[in-house]
């Protein structure tokens, strides 16, 4: 191997080693200053303009923001607001099962956050929650990743954190000490049941929202078409009862089941 090749190989190895080292942690004030332009308040209203809910949203691209679907539930009008700036928003992609909804906002050009892969998260890691708890815009709280909650297949389902959140924080950002988005703050356990038990959806779920939303919509349309076909082809055959009983089960897989999964959390876990 030539001397030039050896030098090049050594340089590449050194670069790889440096890239593997953790970046220098930012001070809380620096984290806030870096990501604050990407955090917005979500205002939801009914058809008459009466406010029905408030939450938070994080900018994920030009004209795009992410929030929790439960913030939008029952609303007819959605706006995002920060300071004196207000923009109308519309629902683009809903991932109801994971409680993440992507918004499209016209003429909305603000910096998108950087998303950290969930594989880099560790229990005990310092994090910051930034959102609009109770309408107090751009509030930051400090805490730790208390636990990484996995399902029976070992997949990360929720990030548990001690960083304080409240109603209005839903859809806000959970950031690491390098100002990277690690989660979307989603729910908290009521103080009547426990303290500092707050949860966020993994941030890398955001990349899956469009595909998952389109798949859910396709399944819903297929179920609806099957139901219409079944109704239009009813007969007195002995198979009628079996056919009728099968159709609702298809619909349940795409709508009712998802809604019930979210609803089971409402008894003891509030939607901040």
Catalytic residues: 70, 99, 170
Asked whether 118 and 22 are in contact (CB, 8 A), the reply is no
Q: Are 180 and 114 in contact (CB under 8 A)?
A: yes
Query: For residues 264 and 97, is the Cβ–Cβ distance under 8 A?
Result: no
Are the C-beta atoms of residues 92 and 106 closer than 8 Å to each other? no
- How far apart are alpha carbons 251 and 126 in whole angstroms? 42
Give residues with Cβ within 8 angstroms of 141, minimum separation 6. Answer: 128, 129, 130, 163, 164, 165
Q: CA torsion sign, 177 to 183 to 185 to 190? A: negative
3-state secondary structure at position 96: coil
Q: What number of other Cβ atoms are within 10 A of residue 12's Cβ?
A: 10
Find the length of the chain.
272
Please give the sequence-ordered ranges of beta strands (E in DSSP) within 62-125, or none if there are none: 64-67, 77-82, 85-95, 100-105
What is the end-to-end Cα distance of the chain in Å, rounded?
Answer: 61
How many Cα atoms sit within 13 Å of 251 on the Cβ side? 11
How far is Cα 226 from Cα 221, in angstroms, rounded to an integer? 8
Q: Which residues contact 43 (CB under 8 A, 6 or more apart)?
A: 51, 54, 78, 79, 80, 81, 86
């Amino acid at each position: 191997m030539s001397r030039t090749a050896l030098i090049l190989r050594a340089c590449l190895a050194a670069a790889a080693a440096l890239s593997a080292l953790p970046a220098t942690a930012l001070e809380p004030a620096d984290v806030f200053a870096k990501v604050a332009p990407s955090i917005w308040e979500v205002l939801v209203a009914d058809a008459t303009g009466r406010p029905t809910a408030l939450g938070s949203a994080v900018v994920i691209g030009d004209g795009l923001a992410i929030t929790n679907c439960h913030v939008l539930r029952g609303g007819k009008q959605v706006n995002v607001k920060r300071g004196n700036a207000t923009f109308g928003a519309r629902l683009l992609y809903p991932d109801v099962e994971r409680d993440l909804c992507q918004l499209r906002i016209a003429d909305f050009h603000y910096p998108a956050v950087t998303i950290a892969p969930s594989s880099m998260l560790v229990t005990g890691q310092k994090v910051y929650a930034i959102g609009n708890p109770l309408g107090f815009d751009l509030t930051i709280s400090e805490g730790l990743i208390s636990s990484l909650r996995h399902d029976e297949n070992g997949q990360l389902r929720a990030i548990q954190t001690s960083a304080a959140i409240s109603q209005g924080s839903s859809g806000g950002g959970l950031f690491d000490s390098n100002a990277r988005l690690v989660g979307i703050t989603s729910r908290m356990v009521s103080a009547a049941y426990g303290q500092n038990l707050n949860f966020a959806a993994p941030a890398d779920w955001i990349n899956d929202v469009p595909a998952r939303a389109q798949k859910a919509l396709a399944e819903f349309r297929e179920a609806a078409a099957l139901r219409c076909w079944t109704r239009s082809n009813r007969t007195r055959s002995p198979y009628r009862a079996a056919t009728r009983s099968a159709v609702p089960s298809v619909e349940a897989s795409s709508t009712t089941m998802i809604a019930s999964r979210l609803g089971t959390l409402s008894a003891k876990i509030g939607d901040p």
